[in-house]
Structure 1
Amino acid sequence: MHNEPLAYRMRPRNLNEVIGQQHIVGKDTALYKMIHNGHVPSMLLYGEPGIGKTSIAYAIAGSSKLPFFALNATSAGKKDVEQIVSEARIAGKVLLFLDEIHRFNKLQQDTLLPHVENGSIVLIGATTENPFHDVNPAIRSRCGEILQLKRHTQDDIEQLVDNALNDAERGLGKENIAITNEQITKIAIASNGDARKALTLLESIFYASDEVDGQAIVEDHIIEHLSKRIGVYGDKGGSHFYNLLSALQKSVRGSDTNAAIYYLAHLLENGDLIAVCRRLLVMAYEDIGLANPAVGAHVYAATESAKTLGLPEARIPLASAVIEMCLSPKSNSAYSALDAATAAIHEGKTGDIPPHLRDAHYAGAQVLGHVGYQYPHDYPIGTFGGWVKQEYLPEKLANIEFYKPVLAGEEKRMAGIYDKLKTFKKEK
């Protein structure tokens, strides 16, 4: 019986054994050709857990002739790094795989970076976080390539599982297991593109299966029981979590109810209810805005209800809010107008506040010329209320327009009023 987990034992031993990620290490890629020609460049591997970062590093090591060392930045200390540097001095060049590289501290960097720069240490860093956000620029600048890995396809996972079932040396090939192609497909679907989870699930299923006449009989209910939460991934505050928030907002903005509900479900499975509520509230004003002003109040009520209820019941008001936003008319005109005004200020488009708009609630205001303001409520106009022609912007900015209405939903009515008021301003 093996002591190491199945996922560990089934790591590819060279690039030709890598399944998936062919856009990075396929035989036609520049990286594959470089390595087989004896040149291994420093690089960063970026992607979610279980999609092959560590496997690719070990496969590169197996395809190269360089001494190979592996460290994890969360636990490695200065002495570990110094040991690698010493090995590099002896061997001339070594290959270092550094997992969780975004946690690399300054002391480790100061020890290692000169040797990466002079080529005595070839660095392969792996991270689940966006390297442009979380990896130190000094590390990034010394890595020639930043390679983003993709989730494995269902076919990739099925092939991995099949390989593990048939490999007598490292896998379960010596075991007598009764498993159908349909059950292998179920494992592949449940793993959600994560090779490590697929092989871990397969191993758990094998040990949980009843043995009949020396054969392990895999049953569907065992697969279903063990794979309930296997597709969920996304650390709170991590890159993938923010990618999920981004995907939710863009799906709502694009009026795709099914995608929006999918991303909402994924976010809620990760458990950060407050972050989800905050993003939904922003979306109500950023993407729905004046086209349906009532949505802001509806979403606020839904998010407050969700926080009061807590999970799992919180999903009920949040689902209603997301569907309503998806199917609501949309406008970003209000905050776009504010951004345009902010940009104008930063560009130096400023001026003095007109005297008649300045504070006049004190003795001496008239002496300073703070006079001439006309009170709009004293000038009723139709059913609109009060309006009077006077200048509100600084003289330098007179007639500038920041607001550009979107003719959608309730804003279409507002746009009509806006245009009418503009004609009143132009009248002598």
Structure 2
Amino acid sequence: MQQPLAYRMRPRNLDEVVGQQHLVGEGKIIRRMVDAKMLSSMILYGPPGTGKTSIASAIAGSTRYAFRTLNAATDTKKDLQIVAEEARMSGTVILLLDEVHRLDKTKQDFLLPHLESGKIIMIGATTENPYITINPAIRSRTQIFEVLPLQETDILQAVSHALTDEERGLGTFPVVLDDDAKLHLSRATNGDLRSALNGLELATKSTPEVNGQIHLTLSVIEECVQRKALTHDKNGDAHYDVISALQKSIRGSDVDAALHYLGRLVEAGDLAIICRRLLVIGYEDIGLANPNAASRTVNAVLAAERLGLPEARIPLAQVVVDLCLSPKSNSAYSALDEAIADIRQGKAGDVPSHLRDSHYKGAAELNRGVGYQYPHNFEEAWVNQQYLPDKLKHTHYYQPKATGKYEQALGMRYKQLNEWKKTKK
């Protein structure tokens, strides 16, 4: 039986890795390790299909080391012993250990000395946060790298390569892939290249050849990846229009419209995009008017990511209604943007001497920290002293809004402090 297209198209070296340029690009950490022949064990974590196994096989291909694959959940200590014996006999072995977060203590204790000696270079792969799920003994002997969801352009590049590669890909098939079908293939799989390539292969091999062509339309790709498309125009503007409409509907407190656009994104399978957009909305549009809504958004997003679609729609619907009906305020980030604008115009100024770091020998001679008044030593834990640089000392960025009880309270405190500045010496 022939191996799946996603397996056949795995990169043979770092130059063939799709995406993850923050790790394998020129001058980046994993490429530096390979170029310097100074590999160390590592853990790659991120969503399925984003290239963890691909990076491991590319490292092995770039270094010419033996490459073995095991699963921490299903393979036994004896399987690890076989890899260790191979490493002892023939030199370094790169071991891709999938589901590394499920490594039990017996296997871990066996593996640790081999990692320390460098005979086995372990590349652990996991979809779980390693800082939470992986034993500290393993973490301390590895470098941890996050593998990010692939971008649309990354998947388009990989699809094009698969369609033209005659040795490993589908280059011997007379495939004609419509533009809207290709675009949907790059989006509907949520950055999962494995799903995109396997869906493409299924479509190619299950579509009859007509007049010397295998014509893959949008409906064919929808069926093969089991994700319905949003109504796209040729450039995909409608996709981004729906995302924009979701945020603007929430900002405008229209629950029904927001749920409609959420539904369209759910039907398209765009979980990652939905979660990211809702996090932005929680802080950008709700902000200080209702900070608890932003916290609830974070929790809903975590639940949605853990559940996956279709169940993810349940916490997503709840938080969209919550955000829609919440009071709104953009005061905090608007104030920051004004401060950044001043900085970019050269209005930064020097930090006042009494605020500068004084925790080093000779600081007093430089007048660093001299005259600083510790607010906790004063009534109301407040003392009238200058904090902004001289050229900005009368500047006000924050303008509180009265759209929520929390920010109303902040506004009263802000007004009180400004009054104190005028009256208290």
TM (norm. structure 1) is: 0.59
SS of the aligned residue for 2:145 comes to strand
Given that 1:95 and 1:124 are in contact with CA atoms closer than 8 Å, whether structure 2 keeps it comes out as yes
Amino acid in structure 2 at the alignment position of 1:154: E
Other-structure match for 2:220: 222
Q: Given the two structures, how large is their TM-score scaled by the length of structure 2?
A: 0.60
The 1:149/1:413 distance shift into structure 2, 3 A limit, reads closer
| Matched-pair contact (CA < 8 Å) for 2:175–2:216 | yes
Cα gap change, 1:326/1:88 in structure 2, threshold over 3 Å: closer, same or farther? farther
- Find 1:150's aligned residue among 145, 148, 151: 148
The 5 A counterparts of 1:248-327 are 319-325=320-326, 327=328
Tell me the residue number matched to 2:159.
161
Structure 1 residues 29 and 320: CA distance shift in structure 2, 3 A: closer
1:226-257 deviation digits (Å, cap 9, x = unpaired): 344489xxxxxxxxxxxxxxxxxxx99x9698
Measured against aligned partners, the alpha-carbon deviations of 1:7-34 in whole angstroms (never above 9, x if no partner) come to 1111011112112111211233243233
CA distance, structure 2, for counterparts of residue 265 and residue 53 of structure 1: 30
Q: Given the superposition, is the C-alpha separation of residues 173 and 149 from structure 1 closer, same or farther in structure 2, using an over 3 Å criterion? A: same
Distance in structure 2 (CA, Å) of the matches to 1:230 and 1:75: 35
**Are the equivalent residues in 2 in contact too, given 1:407–1:415 (CA < 8 A)?**
no
Who is 1:185 aligned against?
Answer: 183
In structure 2, the CA distance between the partners of 1:326 and 1:128, relative to structure 1 (3 Å rule), is farther
1:72 aligns with 2:71: yes
* AA at the equivalent of 2:321: S
**Match of residue 208 from structure 2:** 210
- Counterparts of 1:256 and 1:130, CA distance in 2: 36
Evaluate the alpha carbon distance shift between residue 204 and residue 85 of structure 1 in structure 2; reply closer, same or farther with a 3 A threshold. same
Alpha-carbon deviation of 1:141?
A: 0.8
Letter in 1 for 2:328: L
Q: Secondary structure at the match of 1:150?
A: coil
Measured in 2, the distance between the counterparts of 1:17 and 1:292 equals 47
Query: Residues 39, 418 of structure 1: CA spacing in aligned structure 2 closer, same or farther, 3 A cutoff?
Result: closer
Match of 1:109 in 2: 108
Quick check: 208-217 or 153-162, which moved more?
Answer: 208-217
Report the Cα distance in structure 1 between the residues aligned to 2:171 and 2:411, rounded to whole angstroms. 74
Equivalent residue for 2:123? 124
In the alignment, which residue of structure 2 is the partner of 1:98? 97
Measured after TM superposition, the shift of residue 192 of structure 1 is: 2.5
- Is residue 121 of structure 2 the alignment partner of residue 134 of structure 1? no
- Which runs of no fewer than 5 residues in structure 1 stay unpaired? 232-250, 271-275, 300-309, 332-398, 420-428
- Provide the residue aligned with 2:172 in structure 1: 174
* CA shift in 2, pair 1:39/1:408, >3 Å: same
SS of the residue corresponding to residue 56 of structure 2 reads helix
Aligned partners of 2:2 and 2:67: how far apart in 1? 22
The AA in structure 1 aligned to 2:83 is I
The letter for the 1-side match of 2:60 is A
Identify if the C-alpha distance between structure 1 residues 158 and 117 changes in structure 2 by more than 3 Å, giving closer, same or farther: same
- Aligned partner of 2:208: which letter? D
Q: Residue 374 of structure 1 aligns with which residue?
A: none
1:219 to 1:12, Cα distance in 2 relative to 1, 3 A: same
Query: What are structure 2's unaligned runs of at least 5 residues?
Result: 230-246, 270-274, 298-310, 333-378, 382-399, 415-425
- Partner SS state of residue 170, structure 2: coil
RMSD over equivalenced CA pairs, Å? 4.7
Q: Which amino acid aligns with 2:10?
A: R
Q: Distance in 2 between matches of 1:71 and 1:223?
A: 33
CA distance in 1, matches of 2:66, 2:138: 21
Q: Please state whether the residue corresponding to 1:90 is helix, strand or coil.
A: helix
Offset at residue 321 of structure 1 (A)? 2.6
Distance 2:42 2:221 in 1: 37
The alignment of Structure 1 onto Structure 2 pairs a total of residues equal to 311
One-letter amino acid of the counterpart of residue 49, structure 1 = P
Contact 1:12 1:18 in 2 (8 A): yes
> In the TM superposition, what is the alpha-carbon distance from 1:53 to its structure 2 partner?
0.5
Contact 1:46 1:130 in 2 (8 A): yes
Aligned to 2:83: 84
List structure 1 segments (4+ residues) > 4 angstroms apart after TM superposition. Answer: 254-258, 260-270, 310-318, 328-331, 412-419
Post-superposition CA distance 1:131-165 (Å, at most 9, x none): 1111111111111x211122222221111001111
The separation in 2 between residues aligned to 1:21 and 1:179, in whole angstroms, is 26
Q: Distance in 2 between matches of 1:167 and 1:136?
A: 41
2:253 and 2:194 mapped to 1: Cα distance? 31
* Aligned residue number for residue 381 of structure 1: none
- Whether contact under 8 Å (1:73, 1:100) holds in the other structure is yes
Tell me whether 1:50 sits opposite 2:45 in the alignment: no
